[in-house]
């Protein structure tokens, strides 16, 4: 465990191994967690603004790389969280 931040309608839990996005409210841990991104799977992180909204886009590494070079995965591997 490193930090917890309440941002908009969600809570971001940062640990030494992963980042977890949780819904605010009275939920069990399994119900509240809607996204987990492990640092080993993370290619890069991008913060963007669109029409007054702020988004965090987390690009995961490709599942298979024959060359061993980390490359961004397909579009479904780029979850975007509105904060």
Residue 60's Cβ-count burial label (10 Å; 0-12, 13-18, 19+) is buried
What is the arithmetic mean of pLDDT over 56-68? 69
State the average pLDDT for the chain.
77
Please write the tens of the pLDDT for every residue from 20-46: 888 888 888 788 888 888 888 888 888
Residue 13 has pLDDT above 70, yes or no: yes
pTM of the model: 0.65
Q: In the prediction, which pLDDT does 68 show?
A: 56
Distances from the Cα of 75 to the Cαs of 1, 12, 25, 28, 68, in angstroms? 29, 22, 30, 30, 20
């Amino acid at each position: 465990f490193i930090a917890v931040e309440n941002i908009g309608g969600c809570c971001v839990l940062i640990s030494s191994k992963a980042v977890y996005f949780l819904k605010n409210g009275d939920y069990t841990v399994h119900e509240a967690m809607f996204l987990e991104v492990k640092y080993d799977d993370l290619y890069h992180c991008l913060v963007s603004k669109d029409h007054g909204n702020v988004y965090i886009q987390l690009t995961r590494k490709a599942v298979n790389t024959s060359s061993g070079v980390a490359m961004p995965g397909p579009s479904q591997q780029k979850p975007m969280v509105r904060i």
